[in-house]
Amino acid sequence: MTELTSTPPTTGLSTTGRTTLGRSKERGRTDRADLHAVLDAGLICHLGVIVNGAPMVIPTGYGRIGDTLYLHGSTGSRSLRTAPGETICVTVTHLDGIVLARSSFHHSVNYRSAMIYGVPRLVADEDERWSGLAAITEQLAPGQWDYTRKPNRKELAKTAVLALSLEEASVKMRAGGPNDDDEDYDLPIWAGVLPVVTTWGDPVTDPKLTQPIPVPEHISGR
């Protein structure tokens, strides 16, 4: 079985030409723990791949096991058919706030973002496919994999799972208030941060339930 928790050579992030920041270098993070934190807090990633000579960016679910990122989709998907053997780029971004400055030029956003480059492999090992699909499900709804019916053979045959190493990655973050020009601080203009917070709403029961079933605790307790 393929190793699921491979450890990168160091705990630091890579310093390749693609992952070395060119601007706002002070916002970069070099600890691999920051990469894990950004990925673990996310729900959807964006998969960038070249299809028929043109870029395609697909929002999709993902899951992490150690330093491997798992993506999945239909076996008929053009992006997933193209990705194995080709360099792809996966990004995850959290918007934490809108930074409102005294000058429109200095408006900004507070964010946490991760970018991963690599050549993914199509997962063929059945045990690893199972683990990857569980990780993707648990990323969106912890506790759901054990609660629901597992995919059957027909469903698995329609599902492609990709594994992408986190070896080549960068992390960038911004926090704090606006950075205005010195001469603008005396302007009679409000400045500050408008926080952006993502919250869960109340669960909505499927009207097609054939019997009264309470919302499971792993959903109601979120």
Region 61-77: mean pLDDT is 93
Q: What tens digit of pLDDT does each residue of 80-124 get? A: 778 788 899 999 999 999 999 999 999 999 999 999 999 999 999
Domain around 85: 25-95+109-176
- Is 199 inside any structural domain? no
Mean pLDDT taken over the chain:
90
> Do residues 170 and 19 make contact, with C-beta atoms less than 8 angstroms apart?
yes
- Is 142 inside any structural domain? yes
How many separate domains does the chain show? 1
- Is 58 inside any structural domain? yes
26 burial type by CB count under 10 A (0-12 exposed, 13-18 middle, 19+ buried)? exposed
- Is 163 inside any structural domain? yes
Torsion angle, CA of 144/146/147/150, rounded to 10 degrees? 100
Examine the pLDDT at 160 and tell me if it is beyond 70. Answer: yes
41's tokens:
């807090």
Q: What tens digit of pLDDT does each residue of 28-64 get? A: 688 899 999 999 999 999 999 999 889 999 999 999 9
- Is 159 inside any structural domain? yes
- Is 185 inside any structural domain? no
Least reliable range by pLDDT among 4-13, 87-96, 196-205 = 4-13
Region 184-200: mean pLDDT is 96
pLDDT the model gives residue 221:
82
* CATH assignment at residue 145: 2.30.110.10
Query: What's CA 133's distance to the chain center, in Å?
Result: 15
Examine the pLDDT at 6 and tell me if it is beyond 70. Answer: no
- Is 87 inside any structural domain? yes
pTM, entire model: 0.89
